[in-house]
Amino acid sequence: MPDYPTVLGVFSHRKNIIVGSGTTKTTHQKLTYWFVRQVGDDTFDIQPLNIYHVPSGMREFIKGEAFLSHYTPEPNYYNVNTVPALHSLYEKISKGEEHLAEGNLDAAELEFLKALMIDDMNIEANYGLGTVYSEKNEFDKLAKILKVLMGLGDAFSNEHKERLNAFGVRLRRNGHLDQATAFLEKAHETNPNDDHILFNLARVYFDKKEFDKCRTALVQALEVNPAFPEAKKFLTYCDKMGSAS
């Protein structure tokens, strides 16, 4: 069976644009470039390239017949422009994550900012920069990054599940409880059956002393995964604390 998603490369799309009317009417051809992945036997995930030749912005899903009829492979464009641009982008993100792991926040911030100059909507770079600002307690900058992430639906996809949970935990540990609540509630809306998101949300509610919400989130986590040991222990602790009060 095919291993999806599969990167197919860059494809071009040509569209005729009519300008004016009557005797002044002219036709122009608009050429756009798209990064394409095949995500199913008859489904393609297409994303426009930005001025730096990397995929950025809203992704669309298109069926095979429509895709094959209107999109043309551009292997030379992909190899000459997009591959080196993506390499540069992810090299900067990788360096940023290395610096972050070492606790070198200023160097990490610089690398993530460099990455965002290539693709301001890049999810990994925004998560990384958000983590830096959370660690540095730079609230205004953190708020801007959170606004970007909350507007990126893909930031809450399964592909970024581990990263979003780690980011939510980091917000809570650094005392950004309102921000952690908003972020994890958004994550829960997008992933209602993710037991770890529910567990991390319960911990935020607990720190905010919203114990009823905490207990509800733990019960929901255990409904999704009855064998979740940490959730069981936390719920038992909450029940004991409630009975003692």
pLDDT digits (tens, 9 = 90+) for 167-214: 999 999 999 999 999 999 999 999 999 999 999 999 999 999 999 999
**Cα(236)–Cα(192) distance, integer angstroms:** 23
Report the range of poorest mean pLDDT among 20-34, 38-52, 147-161.
20-34
When the pLDDT of each residue in the chain is averaged and rounded to a whole number, the result is 91
Domain count of the fold of the chain: 1
**Cα(35)–Cα(60) distance, integer angstroms:** 11
The answer to whether position 9 is within a domain reads: yes
pLDDT value at 16 more than 70: no
Residue-level pLDDT at 117: 96
The answer to whether position 64 is within a domain reads: yes
Place of tokens 């719920």: 235
Residue-level pLDDT at 170: 92
What residues make up the domain containing 59?
Answer: 1-73
Q: What percent of the chain has pLDDT over 90?
A: 81
pLDDT value at 225 more than 60: yes
pLDDT digits (tens, 9 = 90+) for 69-110: 999 999 999 999 999 999 999 999 999 999 999 999 999 999
Please state whether beta strands 43-48 and 60-63 pair in parallel, antiparallel, or not at all (unpaired): antiparallel
Place of tokens 């929901």: 220
Report the range of poorest mean pLDDT among 58-62, 73-77, 158-162.
158-162
**Cα(196)–Cα(218) distance, integer angstroms:** 10
The answer to whether position 58 is within a domain reads: yes
DSSP 54: S
The answer to whether position 34 is within a domain reads: yes
What do you get for the CA distance between the two ends of the chain, in Å?
57
3-class secondary-structure state, position 59: coil
pLDDT value at 142 more than 80: yes
Residue-level pLDDT at 150: 92
Residue-level pLDDT at 239: 86
Strand ranges, E, within 97-241: none
The answer to whether position 212 is within a domain reads: no
The answer to whether position 43 is within a domain reads: yes
pLDDT value at 123 more than 80: yes
The answer to whether position 15 is within a domain reads: yes
Residue-level pLDDT at 15: 80
Residue-level pLDDT at 1: 52
Residue-level pLDDT at 161: 87
The answer to whether position 205 is within a domain reads: no
Q: Max Cα separation, the chain?
A: 86
